[in-house]
Structure 1
Amino acid sequence: MLLQALSRAKEEFTMRACGILMPVFSLPGPFGIGTLGEEAFAFVDFLARAKQTYWQILPIGPTGYGDSPYQSFSAFAGNPYFIDFRVLHEQGYLTADEIPAEVPVGPVDYGVLYQQRPVVLQKAADRLLAAASVEYKDFCTAQSFWLDDYALFMAIKAEQGQAGLCDWPDDLRTRQPAAVAAARERLAGQVDYFKAVQFFFYTQWNALKAYANGKGIQLVGDIPIYVSPDSSDLWTRPELFQTDGQTHLTQVAGCPPDAFAADGQLWGNPLYDWPRHKAEDFAWWKRRMRHATSIYDVVRIDHFRGFESYYAIPAGNKTAAGGHWEKGPDRAFINAIHETLGQGGIIAEDLGYLTPEVKTMLAASGYPGMKIMQFAFDSREPGNYLPYTYPHNSVVYTGTHDNVTTEGWRQSASPEDVHYACRYLRCLPEDLTEAMICACLASVSDMAIIPMADWLHLGAEARINTPSTQGANWQWRLDTPLTSLLAEHIADLTALYDRVPAAADC
C-alpha cells in the first residue's frame, strides 16, 4: 500500500514542469522586431539548456488597432512582421541586397514596420508566385477555409486606404455577392500576395515548432476569446456576432470597473451571438480550436470566464462603466470543445471577477486556471492568490504580460504590500523577485510560467502591456544577453523544485 502511494506521489512530481513567457516580438534580432529566424531557434536552445518544458508566447496574428496582438485582422492568420528575411534569402525568395539594413535592438516601432515590411515581402511573394510550388498550392488548399476570405479582406482594406471595416462602402461591408465577386477579380494580384505572405509565415512557424518539439520544448499559444471589430472573421460571418444586420456592432466587449481600472476596460470587440453558435453546434469555434491545437502544443484561452457570462457594453459608449452582464453558453460550449479536442491541452485564463458559476464551469472543463503570485500580496486584489490556496491543476505565474514586472511591482507597490510580501516569503526587499520566482516553482501548481523579464530582474521598462492604455505597449524587446550562467541558474532552480522534464533529468 505504501509503495503504491509512493508511486502515485512520484507520478505527480513527474507531471510538474515549468516554462518561460516570452513574446515572439520581444526576441532580439536585426530587423526592428523579433522574428521566426535564428534568434527564435537560439531561444529554444536556451530553454533546453535551462531545463524548461514550455515556451509561452502571445497571440501571433497580424496586429491591427493599437498594435495589440489581441486585436488581430484574423483569428487564423499569422503576423507578417514575424517573417524572417534571412530565411527568405536562404530559400531564394530575396536577394542579399533586398534585405533591409540591420538596426540595433530597441523597442518595436510599428510605424516603421508598417512602411517597410510590405515592400520587401512583395518582392519575395512575386518570386514565389512566378513559379508556385506544390507546397504553396497544398497550403492554399488546406487553409482555404480561412485564407481566401482573409486575403480578400486584406486586399480590400489596402484598396480602401486601410480604412476599418465599419467605414467600407455598404456593398463591400455587407458582402453583396456582386461587389465581392468584382473585388475578387479586380484585386486578384493583391489577394495572391496576402496568400503568399501567409505561406511564408506558416512555413517558418512550422519549422520553429518542429525544432522546439525536437528539443523537448512545447509551445504554449494564446488565443483571444474575441475577434477584432476590423477583422475578416466579422466580415465573413457577421451573423455569428451581435450586429444590426449591416455589420454594425450593437454591443461590445470589455470588463467592468475594478480597483485596477476605475472606468473598467472598453475593449470594443464584437460579442458573439451565442444562440446562433449553439444552433450551429459551435462549428466556428470547433474549427478555430482545431486550428489552434494544430499550431500550438498547448492553448491558453484569454478571458475564459466570458464563456459563462460576459460583460456587454452598448456600442458607442466612451467607457466600460455602463455595461451589464449577460449569460454565455457555459457547459454547452465546454461539452462541444471536449467532443472535438478531448479534455487536455488548454489553459483557461480565469482572472478577474469570478462568480461561483464561473468556478463551476472551470471545474467541469477540467482545464487548469491561472494563479498570479503578485496578486497574492496586492491589497487591491480581492481574490486570494496566496500559494497555499493553489490546486495542483493550475498554472502559476509571477505576473503576466498585463502586469508590471515583479521588480517593477516591488518598486511601485505600496510599502505595506511590499512589506507583507517580504514577510510572507522571508526575504529582503532587494531579493523579492527571486523569492517570488522560487515561490512559484515551489508551489503545488503542475505548471509554473515565469516571464523572461523576471528571470532577468528587469524593472518597469520591460513591461509588455498596461491595460486600458495606448502607446508604449507591445514594444519591449530583449537586449540583454541570455548567458550560460543564467541558463544554469534557471536549470538549478527547476531541478530543486522537481520541475525538470523526464528526458532532461538523465
Structure 2
Amino acid sequence: MIIPKRSSGILLHITSLPSAYGIGDLGSEAYKFADLLAEAGQRYWQILPLNPTEIGSGNSPYSSHSAFAGNPLLISPERLVDDGLLDKKDIRAGGGFDKAKVNYPKVADYKVKLLRQAYDNYKDGRASKLQGEFIRFQEAHKVWLPDFTSFVAFKQYYNGKAWVEWPEKVKTRQLHAIDALSAELSVEIEREAFLQFLFYRQWEALKTYCTSKEITFIGDMPFYVSHDSADVWSHPQLFKLDRQSQPTAVSGVPPDYFSETGQLWGTPVFDWKELENQNFDWWLRRIAHNLELFGLLRLDHFRAFSAYWEVPAGEKTAINGKWVKTPGAELLKAVKKKFPAMPIIAEDLGEIDQPVRDLMAQFDLPGMRVLLFAFGEDLPQSIYAPHHHSQNSIVYTGTHDNSTVRAWYEHDASRDDKKRLSDYSAQRLSKENVSAIMARLAYMSVAQLVVLPVQDVLGLGKEAIMNKPSTAKGNWQWRLQPGLFSKTVAQRLRQEVELYGR
C-alpha cells in the first residue's frame, strides 16, 4: 500500500494561491500555505499538472505543448528578486490584478516582460552564481529540453503557427534545417531553457521545504498530449499521424449519461505498437520525470491504460469511435521494474469496466472515491458511499472537475439526494453546514487517505468552481482569497485529523 498510514491532504492548484502578481506562484504564499498545512496536520498537498498552459486551449493544465516542461507563469517574481535577477521596483504589479480570478492574458503580458528582463540581467552578469547550476540543469534535462526550447522558439519565429504549418524541412526535422534555424535563434532558445531552469529551481525549493514539514506533493499527469506540442513534433512516430503529420485518429470518451455525443478531446492517439517496439521508452521517461517532481503521481484517465476510445479524425462528435485495447499492463510492468514502490494513484472515475479494475488490482493501485457521486438512487450499492470504501483508496468530497459541495447542494442536488445525505449522516442539512458534514464523512472513511479541495474546507459556493468539463470559457481561474485559509481553519482541521486518526 503506497499510503503508509491514515492521513489527509488538501487539493489546491498553484495558480489558485494568493499573490500580488495575478496568479498563484512558487513564492511566499506557497510557503505560507505549506506552513498552514503542517499546522492542520495535513500530510499531502495535491495539485494539478504543472505543464505550460495556453490561452488558445482555455488555459487548461491538461492541454499543454509539452509533457515535460514547467509553466513559466508559475515562476515567482519575489524569488527572482531574492536571486538578484530583478530589482524590487521591477516587480511592482502596477494597475493591480483581480484577487478572485486569474486574468490569463494580463498575467501573461506581465510575466513575459519580467522573465525576459530576468534573462537579460542574467546575460549581463547579474546572479553569476547561477551559471554552474544552469549548466547542470541543461545537462540533467537534455533528453527533452532541447526539443522543447527549439519548439517554442521556432513557433514564435513562425508567428505562432502550428508546427505542421512550418516549412517542410523544419516540420520534418531535417538536421541541417534545424541546425541553421537553431543557430539563428540561439538567444531565444537559451532564454526558454533559462525559464525552465528558474521554474524547476523554484519548484525544487518548495518541494524541499514541504518535505521538511513532512508534506508530500501529489501530482497529476494527463494521459494525452496536444497535437501542436514539442512531443508530437519531436516524436511523430509515436502517434497515429498521416503523411502530412495530421492525426488519423483522435481521443475522446463515448456517449454516456452526461453527454449524448460523448466528449471529443481531439488530441492524437498513441501508436502503441511503436511504443511497444521502443520498450515504452518515452512513457517511462515521462513517468520518471513526474516521479522526480512528486511523491505520489495520479495518472489521469487511467482507464485508457486498459482500452481507449478512438475516434476517426474529422468527426464532429465522439459518437463514431471504438474501444481499442492498450498494452497498459506491459507498460505498468516496466514502470514497476523501474519504480518497485509504484507510488501511483489511478484516476478511475467515469465508466469503468472490469478489465480496468483487474489492471488496478494487478498492480495494487489505489483508486478514487468521490462523495459527491455517492448520494444518488444507488446509494446502498454505490462504490462511492463510505460503507463501500476500501482501505487502499483515496476519498474526496469532490475534484477540480466537480462542483463544490455547497454549490452541489444549492444548485445540483435533487430533494431526494439531499434527503439521502441527511439520512446517511443523521444530520439536518443547510447550505452553511453541508460542506462540513460531507468532509466529516470523508474523514470517517476507512480509506487510507482523504483529500479535500480547499473550497470544501472553506464551505465555498459556485463562485469557487475550478473547472466545468465540456465548457470552453471561464475555467481554471479561481483564486483563494488572502487570509481565508487561516490558522483558525487549520486548527479545526487538526482536531478532525486527531479525532479520526489521520
State TM-score, norm by structure 2: 0.94
Report percent identity of matched pairs.
39
| Cα offsets for 1:3-38 (capped at 9, x unmatched) | xxxxxxxx9997111100000000001000000000
Query: Which residue of 1 is the match for residue 30 of structure 2?
Result: 40
Conserved 8 A contact 2:48-2:219: yes
- Alignment partner of 1:209 is 2:207: yes
Aligned residues: 489
Instruction: Find out whether 1:77 has 2:69 as its counterpart.
Output: yes
Q: 1:93 to 1:452 in 2, by over 3 A?
A: same
Q: Paired residue for 1:125, among 119, 122, 127?
A: 119
Give the 3 Å change call, closer, same or farther, for CA 480–189 of structure 1 in structure 2.
closer
Conserved 8 A contact 1:266-1:468:
no
Residue 316 of structure 1, CA deviation: 2.1
Within 2, Cα distance between the matches of 1:166 and 1:407? Answer: 45
| 1:239, distance to aligned residue in structure 2 (A) | 0.5
Amino acid at match of 1:92: G
SS in 2 for 1:229: coil
Distance 2:166 2:477 in 1: 30
Letter of the structure 1 residue corresponding to residue 392 of structure 2: N
Q: Distance in 2 between matches of 1:129 and 1:371?
A: 50
Q: Runs in 1 of length 4+ with deviation above 3 angstroms? A: 11-14, 129-132, 378-384
CA 1:116 to 1:285, structure 2 compared with 1: closer, same or farther past 3 Å?
same
Task: Name the residue aligned to 2:491.
Answer: 488
SS in 2 for 1:421: helix
In the alignment, is the contact (CA less than 8 A) between 1:260 and 1:380 conserved in 2? no
1:264: Cα distance to partner? 1.6
On the 8 A contact 2:346/2:366 being kept in 1, the answer is: yes
Alpha-carbon distance in 2 for matches of 1:87, 1:222: 25
- In structure 2, the partner of 1:7 is none
Aligned-partner residue type, residue 437 of structure 2: A
Give the Å deviation of 1:339. Answer: 0.9
Using the TM superposition, give the Cα deviation of residue 196 of structure 1 relative to its aligned residue in structure 2, in angstroms.
0.6
- CA 1:178 to 1:383, structure 2 compared with 1: closer, same or farther past 3 Å? farther
- Correspondence for 1:504: none
Question: Which amino acid is the alignment partner of residue 90 of structure 1?
Answer: D
The match for 2:452 is: 450
- Give the secondary structure class of the aligned counterpart of 1:353: coil
State how 1:138-149 maps to structure 2 within 5 Å.
Answer: 138-149=136-147
Shift of 1:330: 2.7
Cα 1:285/1:424, change in 2 over 3 Å: same
- Deviation of the 1:84 alpha carbon: 0.6
- Residue 114 of structure 1 corresponds to which residue in structure 2? 108
Within a 5 Å distance, the mapping from 1:59-458 to structure 2 comes to: 59-64=49-54, 65-101=57-93, 103-104=96-97, 105-131=99-125, 133-378=131-376, 384-412=383-411, 413-430=413-430, 431-458=433-460
Q: Partners of 1:278 and 1:380 in 2: how far apart?
A: 40
In the alignment, the residues of structure 1 paired with residue 187 and residue 100 of structure 2 have an alpha-carbon distance, to the nearest angstrom, of: 35
Q: How far did residue 98 of structure 1 move? A: 1.7
Distance 1:130 1:366 in 2: 53
- The Cα offsets for residues 321-363 of structure 1, whole Å up to 9 and x where unpaired, read as 2211111113111111111111431111011111111110111
State whether residues 406 and 459 of structure 2, in contact with CA within 8 Å, keep that contact through their aligned partners in structure 1.
yes
Post-superposition shift, 1:174? Answer: 2.2
In the aligned structure 1, how far is the partner of 2:469 from the partner of 2:50?
19
Q: Specify the SS of the correspondent of 1:278.
A: helix
| Matched position secondary structure for 2:143 | helix
Q: 1:478 aligns with which of 474, 477, 480?
A: 480
CA distance in 1, matches of 2:154, 2:3: 53
How many Å separate the matches in 1 of 2:188 and 2:176? 19
Q: Secondary structure at the match of 1:156?
A: helix
Distance 2:377 2:318 in 1: 23
Counterpart amino acid of residue 427 in structure 1: Q
Tell me the distance in 1 between the aligned counterparts of 2:378 and 2:326: 28
On the 8 A contact 1:343/1:366 being kept in 2, the answer is no
**Structure 1: gaps (5+ residues):** 1-10, 500-506
Q: Letter of the 2:14 partner, please give it.
A: V
Q: What secondary structure is seen at the aligned counterpart in 2 of 1:144?
A: coil
- Of stretches 311-320 and 15-24 in structure 1, the one that deviates more from structure 2 is 311-320
Question: How far did residue 390 of structure 1 move?
Answer: 1.4
Secondary structure of 2:467's partner? Answer: coil
Q: Is the 8 A contact 1:392 1:444 kept in 2?
A: yes
Alpha carbons 1:373, 1:396 under 8 Å: kept: yes
Give RMSD over aligned pairs.
1.8
CA contact (8 A) 2:382 2:388 kept: no
Residues of 2 paired with 1:229 and 1:153: CA distance? 13
AA of the residue aligned to 1:25: T
Letter in 2 for 1:428: R
1: distance between equivalents of 2:23 and 2:2? 39
Residue 467 of structure 2, aligned match among 465, 475, 479: 465
Q: In the TM superposition, what whole-angstrom CA distance separates every residue of 1:87-109 from its partner, at most 9, and x where no partner exists?
A: 10111111222214253512011
Answer whether contact 2:52 2:61 (CA < 8 A) is retained.
yes
In structure 2, what residue type is equivalent to 1:327? K
Task: Give 1:226 deviation, angstroms.
Answer: 1.0
Question: Given residue 345 of structure 1, which amino acid in structure 2 is its aligned partner?
Answer: P
Structure 2 unaligned regions, length at least 5: none
Q: Cα–Cα, structure 1 residues 378 and 153, in superposed 2: closer, same or farther, change >3 Å? A: farther
Amino acid at match of 1:114: A
Measure, in 1, the Cα distance between the counterparts of 2:180 and 2:47. Answer: 39
- CA contact 1:32–1:106 (8 Å) conserved in 2: no
Q: Which amino acid aligns with 1:422?
A: S
Tell me: CA distance 1:270–1:349, structure 2 relative to 1, closer, same or farther (3 Å): same
> Kindly tell me: are residues 440 and 114 of structure 1, through their superposed partners in 2, closer, same or farther at Cα, counting changes over 3 Å?
same
Q: Bigger shift: 382-391 or 42-51?
A: 382-391
The answer to whether the Cα contact below 8 Å between 1:442 and 1:497 also exists between their aligned partners in 2 is yes
Deviations 1:243-300 (A, max 9, x none): 1143211111111122222322211122111111111111111111111111111111
Distance (Å, rounded) in 2 between the aligned partners of 1:118 and 1:341: 37
Contact kept, 8 Å, 2:369 with 2:383, in 1: the verdict is no
Q: Which stretch shifts more, 173-182 or 378-387? A: 378-387
Which amino acid counterpart does residue 117 of structure 1 have in structure 2?
Answer: K
Range with bigger deviation, 400-409 or 128-137: 128-137
